[in-house]
Structure 1
Amino acid sequence: MAANQPLAPATASTGSRSVETVIVGGGQAGLATAYWLTRAGRECVVLEARDRVGDQWRERYDSLRLFTAARVDGLPGMPFPGRKSAWPTGRELADYLENYAANLGAAVRTGVRVLDVEVVTGGGFAVSTTDGDLQAVNVVLAAGSDASPKVPDVAAQLDPGIRQLHSSQYHNPAQLLQGPVLVVGASQSGADLALEAAHAGHQTWLSGRNHGQIPINERIAGPLFWFAANHVLTLRTPIGRKLRPAIRRGGSPLIRTKRADLDAAGVHRMTARTVGSQDGRPVLEDGTVLDVANVLWCTGYRPDYSFVHPAAIGPDGYPAETGGAADGVPGLFYVGLIFQSGFYSHLVGGAGRDARVIADRISARTLAGHPVAMQGW
């Protein structure tokens, strides 16, 4: 079925269209879920708010590369093209996802934003979108955990003459003012942007907790990292359960850009966090005051499920779910959350693993007595 096929007509009784499963989000997690549902003979529709599948990756900084090699970046049924040892760029991934969607065999609607998901008395969901209303037996929330950029309160205290950009707004060094740069957040994106700023001739500080690094080269480290992400750093192991909160707060180790790269480029690595201001300048928790012209906030994102009613949220700001199934809301599922089942859950090549679990649960639930009359999808 071609992407962006017109939606089925509304029913006379409700004024809305019936769909067995609505998947919110056309990124890797949503598309992988649609793949497994389609293979199981279950019909679904993927709703992607952006105009093109993959745009969430096209919007990221120009130099972005995945920190996993192409050999493990494919989704179910379609290996990632090109050299298997290459580090795909964000735009290469975007094009891959767009091609994947076009060959998926499921309805993928772009430019359709979901406004509201509400549980219906008696079962199912009412889904309100910018292209009309839907009724669904199941809803899969696959829009990821990066809905809302997270910027510390101290940002509002800094001198307005300092150029401040969240990593979601940053594309390349041409956006920076002349002068020093402070990069806040020392995980992978922070290391990437600090290295880029230094290479562009800016005196650069990188502020944030040291989360470690994988010290060996990619040829050896890649397979080891992939094994650890899939078998060690999971909710099935004590170490995985212990590390999950830190990883969800943005505590991933450096994988591609290493501390030696930063040191060689002259980046000043500061393990103290940025916590305040003095005369409009940023202050680190050790009292260091930095006179900079730019601040890049590589401080992550917050999930946003305010459009889902009800959507139980845990103390960490993530949905209350068990194995991807929402606690207390039958038929509501999540996929693609950071460390949902393991470190692999939010990696491109790991999305298919959790997606298959969710698709199997939906299939079992439907066969157990939750049918729906499909209308021409």
Structure 2
Amino acid sequence: MTERPETLVIGAGQAGLSTAYHLQARGREALVVDASDRVGDTWRRHYDSLRLFTPRRIIGLPGSPFPGDRKSVPTKDEVADYLAAYAARHGLAVRTGVTVERVVRHDDGFRADTTDGPIHADHVVVATGKAWHPRVPSFASELGDDIVQLHSADYQRPSQLSAGRVLVVGAAVSGGDIAVETSRTHPTTLCGRVTGHMPFRSNGPLTPLIPFIGNRLLSMRSPLGRRYRAAERDHGQPLPVELVRSIRGIPDDRLEWTDDRVVGVQDGLPMTASGRVLDVANVIWCTGYRHDYTWIEPLVTDDAGWPEQVDGAATGSPGLFFVGLPFQSAYGSGFLYGVGRDAAKVAAQIDRGV
């Protein structure tokens, strides 16, 4: 049978659940579907040691503060469990194990073709974030067969690695954090340009400023925010100052950090832009993800392939919305502390019949 909820929300992460919460608060029906088996599984799949850098006191979703010591930072599994409890506590209609393969405009709304059959809806909210397609350079296939290669999406723990030096490619937050961990068991080289860092500790006395900076100062409504958005989308997020200090505090013979980029392969080994050939036994690609929205028809995207949208409403496609895009309306859009603001804007537009 074909279902027809008023709004179909694709993705049961923080973006999708926040949107369903705000729609429910306005008395509007929403069905949330997610390809994972459980709510929060996207977080559970991250590497074992992952902890947030921001404390619980600023990361709760609308209607539910994050439990536990408000000054402590949660693990990735605690975030996953929080999301599952959030959906249950607010009675959100969530269906897991459902993959959306295509969304097309149909009659006076949309049809989503899913692994559980077609779903028709008046509105569709895409809350899949970056779309999570790991990106590695084309020359990765030229590395020697004896080199262990993992993308950060597949890295879980150092025991996955063989004996010998580890090369971590990409010095954004995940790359820096993973390099610190691998340096405890393997000599490690971290290659990547410094993306900048926060001017103060993310879990310190100035922590309350983070939502103001991320949601208001660095927003699309300010010239500073618009300039910062281009840099953030192209080069990644700035590093927490705590992470920078951790990296620099490790002896060079355990962790070498260089901005010399990995650009190719020579004799089966990675080679940098300066011509240096790195004798390594493992490579962890912390090179981000590619976004793919070709499964949505029609959709207007910009030159970089991001959906064109204003306050979450897709350009040229009434009834189609986005929540959780990196820097959707502000720097905080992709984070737990900021996604609720964008979700509230989208729910308000749906309630008004935009």
Answer yes or no: same fold by TM over 0.5: yes
Q: 1:251: how far off?
A: 2.3
Supply the RMSD in Å over aligned alpha carbons.
1.4
8 Å Cα contact 2:177-2:243 kept in structure 1: no
Code of the residue aligned with 2:99 in structure 1: it is R
- Tell me what 1:260 maps to: 245
Match of residue 78, structure 2, among 92, 105, 110: 92
Q: 1:337: how far off?
A: 0.2
Secondary structure, counterpart of 1:219 in structure 2: coil
- Tell me what 2:225 maps to: 240
Q: 1:286: how far off?
A: 1.9
- Tell me what 1:4 maps to: none
Instruction: Give distance in 1, aligned partners of 2:137 and 2:162.
Output: 21
Instruction: Give distance in 1, aligned partners of 2:235 and 2:277.
Output: 24
- Tell me what 1:159 maps to: 144
Instruction: Give distance in 1, aligned partners of 2:84 and 2:297.
Output: 30
Structural mapping, 1:20-59, within 5 Å: 20-59=6-45
Structural mapping, 1:269-308, within 5 Å: 269-308=257-296
Structural mapping, 1:1-377, within 5 Å: 10=1, 16-121=2-107, 123-200=108-185, 202-217=186-201, 218-255=203-240, 257-266=242-251, 267-365=255-353
Q: 1:215: how far off?
A: 4.7
Secondary structure, counterpart of 1:170 in structure 2: coil
Instruction: Give distance in 2, aligned partners of 1:141 and 1:263.
Output: 39
Instruction: Give distance in 2, aligned partners of 1:189 and 1:138.
Output: 34
Secondary structure, counterpart of 1:46 in structure 2: strand
Instruction: Give distance in 2, aligned partners of 1:184 and 1:58.
Output: 23
Tell me which moved more, 350-359 or 153-162.
153-162
Q: 1:256: how far off?
A: 5.4
Code of the residue aligned with 1:124 in structure 2: it is G
Normalising by the residue count of structure 1, what TM-score does the alignment of the two structures yield?
0.90
8 Å Cα contact 1:188-1:257 kept in structure 2: no
Q: 1:221: how far off?
A: 4.3
Unpaired runs of 5+ residues, structure 2, are none
Secondary structure, counterpart of 1:45 in structure 2: strand
Instruction: Give distance in 2, aligned partners of 1:184 and 1:146.
Output: 21
8 Å Cα contact 1:74-1:80 kept in structure 2: yes
Code of the residue aligned with 2:295 in structure 1: it is F
Instruction: Give distance in 2, aligned partners of 1:118 and 1:147.
Output: 21
Instruction: Give distance in 2, aligned partners of 1:250 and 1:299.
Output: 10
Q: 1:250: how far off?
A: 3.8
8 Å Cα contact 2:199-2:241 kept in structure 1: no
Q: 1:128: how far off?
A: 1.2
Instruction: Give distance in 2, aligned partners of 1:203 and 1:215.
Output: 29
8 Å Cα contact 1:20-1:136 kept in structure 2: yes
Q: 1:133: how far off?
A: 1.2
Secondary structure, counterpart of 2:316 in structure 1: coil
Secondary structure, counterpart of 1:164 in structure 2: strand
Identity of aligned residues (%): 48
Cα shift readout 1:85-124 (whole Å, capped 9, x = no counterpart):
1111110000000000112223110111111111014x20
Unpaired runs of 5+ residues, structure 1, are 1-9, 11-15, 367-377
Cα shift readout 1:138-163 (whole Å, capped 9, x = no counterpart):
00000111420111122122112111
Normalising by the residue count of structure 2, what TM-score does the alignment of the two structures yield?
0.96
- Tell me what 1:373 maps to: none
Instruction: Give distance in 1, aligned partners of 2:11 and 2:191.
Output: 33
Work out the number of aligned pairs and report it.
350
